[in-house]
Amino acid sequence: VGGLVDGWDIRAMIVDDGPAAANASILDELERGSTSVLLDTTAIGIREAADLDVALAGVHLEMAAVALLPGPRSVEAAGWLVDLWDSRSVSVVDRRGDLGLDPLGVAARHGTAASVDGSLAAIARRVVGADGVRAVSVDSTPYADAGAGEAWELACSLATGVAYLRALTDGGLSLSDALGTMAFTYSATADQFLTIAKFRAARRCWDRVAGASGAAPSERAQVQRAVTSAAMTSRRDPWVNMLRTTVA
């Protein structure tokens, strides 16, 4: 995967209130070993392009990947990030990150209208050729956080992925470009072996979907993101949480 070191990426979640506070956390995380950051634009309070610029001040965007957590204003935020790459003259080959377009996942988590429109393909076309950027995020953690088991999480992920694949190709992207702009996010729990099995099954299932769609074998790989499960953590016992997250 473009931009990853040895195939792995250590991504820090940033949820600080305010762009300036988020910027301090971002710089601290990158200095202490994280290789990329995941911005919760809703929690941070990024409401315009200038806010994103403040949050990413001092960040070498040609070196560190920036991902956006899917949210109600993902389309706007995705456009701001692409514009920021342009304004800072980051070459296409050096751009890395996720734009966080996931309207169905956002609907599941936030209760917004569930619809897939032309904005998905419109934003994706802006990053065609940037191999290190994934415009579309198929995030199944809203379902896992709501209590879905592994099979249900995989089913929701596949159904969402197929819907986005259709929307992207209907919007004018080639099958190769559509597959190349998608990334999948799954929850990782303290059940280590079941989690590994889920990720492996997800790759096999998506390989089948891509193959049935006419993709060449080299285009069927599934780019995966693992997020520590929120459903398995306790509100009152941090020591147990430390053990669980160590395994996850």
Contacts for 44 with CB less than 8 Å, ≥ 6 apart: 14, 15, 16, 17, 18, 19, 21, 22, 51, 55
- For residues 235 and 238, what is the distance between their CA atoms, to the nearest angstrom? 7
- Give me the residue spans of the domains in the chain: 1-96, 102-248
Residue 114 binned pLDDT confidence (cut-offs 50, 70, 90)? confident
Spell out the alpha helix ranges (H) of 175-217. Answer: 175-180, 192-212
Strand partners, 225: 185
Could you tell me the CA-to-CA distances from 143 to 36, 117, 119, 133, 156 in Å, in that order?
25, 22, 24, 25, 8
Question: Residue 6: what pLDDT?
Answer: 54
- Mean pLDDT value across residues 8-34: 95
HSE value, Cβ hemisphere, 13 Å, CA-based, for 64: 25
pLDDT tens digits along 21-33? 999 999 999 999 9
Q: Where are the beta strands (DSSP E) in 20-113?
A: 36-39, 65-68, 97-101
Question: Residue 94: what pLDDT?
Answer: 94
C-beta atoms surrounding 224 within 10 Å: 15
Could you tell me the CA-to-CA distances from 35 to 71, 108, 184, 201 in Å, in that order?
23, 29, 19, 27
Question: Residue 245: what pLDDT?
Answer: 80
Does residue 156 carry a pLDDT above 70?
Answer: yes
- Mean pLDDT value across residues 158-163: 98
Phi (first) and psi of residue 227, to 5 degrees:
-125, 130
Q: Work out the percent of the chain whose per-residue pLDDT is above 70.
A: 97
Spell out the alpha helix ranges (H) of 65-149. Answer: 74-87, 103-110, 119-126, 141-145
Q: Would you state the structure tokens that stand for residue 183, as one six-digit string?
A: 């990334």
- Give the CA angle between residues 3, 7, 152 to the nearest 5°: 110
pLDDT tens digits along 184-239? 999 999 899 999 999 999 999 999 999 999 999 999 999 999 998 888 888 888 88
pLDDT tens digits along 68-105? 999 999 999 999 999 999 999 999 999 999 999 999 99
Question: Residue 219: what pLDDT?
Answer: 95
Give the least confident one: 131-145, 160-174, 222-236.
222-236
